[in-house]
Amino acid sequence: MEIIIARDYEEMSKISADIIASQIRKKHDSVLGLATGDTPLGTYKELLRLHREEGLDFSKIKSFNLDEYHGLAPLHPNSYNFFMQEHLFKHINTIPANEFVPQGNTEDPEEFCAWYERKIQEAGGIDLQVLGIGRDGHIAFNEPGSSLASRTRVKALVRKTIEDNARFFSSIDEVPRFAITMGVGTILDARRILLVANGQKKAEVCAQFIEGPVTSQITASALQLHSHVTVVLDEEAASKLQRKDYYNWVRDNKQLVHKKIGR
Ligand code: F6R
């Protein structure tokens, strides 16, 4: 795993947007995996700027979102579908037919999840998957105990996640108890993975998933099994890492390191 420690949220967002932008410039018809939540908001804002000011072209991009609350219609203001429209899609030139977000109000979740997996395959697989991380170590909505081989399915949310996400709803009772989510196995199939995290509240879990053992109790730790993962953290989220000096040395000597490892 490549660990990049940014000064603050702004720098973290800029670095992650640059990684996404260079993927798009390298391959105009890239398939992106996208996340919602507070963490990537700055990254998406920077992507909008790159689109507006530097002509970053999304017209051939396909995107697949990680997850959606089960039971919410796409136009529900708390749905992840709505979030993506508001914070990204309506400001850039993606083609609506190429923006895939799980449909929360599907009548047949099992059939829908199989279809979603098929669509990802038909698109040629995900080139770059963007992830945030929950305080319980979840990636997408793969809560502790999820199989590390899991595929897209309906998953029950844990109490901590429901509490964390209550801030978006008028009361905690309105937070859906289930979500449709890509599995850990689906995520690990992506060719490259970019995880972003910021803030003190993520410090403990970042140390666990980066430097602790691989365990289904912290599903982000499964990223240790992937060969091309970049983690971009702000100083606070990185504050409990043991090997910070090493990560910073690698970052400061990036050109030398990339020459040696051939990337
Ligand atoms: C969202 C998602 C979640 C979030 C995580 C962190 O699509 O898959 O795993 O990335 O819950 O959320 P924030 O960024 O709000 O702290």
Q: Is 51 a catalytic residue?
A: no
For 75, the token pair is 């136009």
| pTM score, whole prediction | 0.96
Q: What integer is the mean pLDDT of 71-96?
A: 97
Q: Is 95 left (phi over 0), alpha (psi -120 to 50) or beta?
A: beta
User: What pLDDT, in 10s, does the model give residues 98-153?
Assistant: 999 999 999 999 999 999 999 999 999 999 999 999 999 999 999 999 999 999 99
Pocket test for ligand 1, best of 9, 36, 136 (most atoms within 8 A of CB): 36
- Residue whose Cα lies nearest atom 4 of ligand 1: it is 132
User: What pLDDT, in 10s, does the model give residues 202-234?
Assistant: 999 999 999 999 999 999 999 999 999 999 999
Of the pLDDT bands very low, low, confident and very high (cuts 50, 70, 90), residue 92 is very high
Percentage of the chain with pLDDT > 90? 94
- Residue 152 beta carbon below 6 angstroms from any ligand 1 atom: no
- Residue 163 beta carbon below 6 angstroms from any ligand 1 atom: no
Q: What integer is the mean pLDDT of 48-67?
A: 98
Pocket test for ligand 1, best of 78, 136, 138 (most atoms within 8 A of CB): 138
Q: What is the C-alpha separation between 198 and 12, in angstroms, rounded? A: 8
Of the pLDDT bands very low, low, confident and very high (cuts 50, 70, 90), residue 254 is confident
Q: Where are the alpha helices (DSSP H) in 127-223?
A: 159-165, 184-188, 203-211
DSSP character string of 102-153: --TT-S-HHHHHHHHHHHHHHTT--SEEEE---TT--BTTB-TT--TT--SE
Domain ranges in the chain are: 2-260
Q: What integer is the mean pLDDT of 1-25?
A: 97
- Residue 39 beta carbon below 6 angstroms from any ligand 1 atom: yes
Of the pLDDT bands very low, low, confident and very high (cuts 50, 70, 90), residue 256 is confident
Q: What is the CATH number of domain 2-260?
A: 3.40.50.1360
Sequence-ordered list of residues with C-beta below 8 angstroms from that of 6, at least 6 positions apart, any chain? 12, 14, 15, 232, 233, 234, 235
Catalytic residue among 67, 68, 127, 189: 67
Q: What is the C-alpha separation between 33 and 49, in angstroms, rounded? A: 20
Segment (H or E) for 13: helix 9-26
Residue 182: strand, helix, or coil:
coil
Q: What integer is the mean pLDDT of 33-52?
A: 98
Q: What integer is the mean pLDDT of 188-194?
A: 98
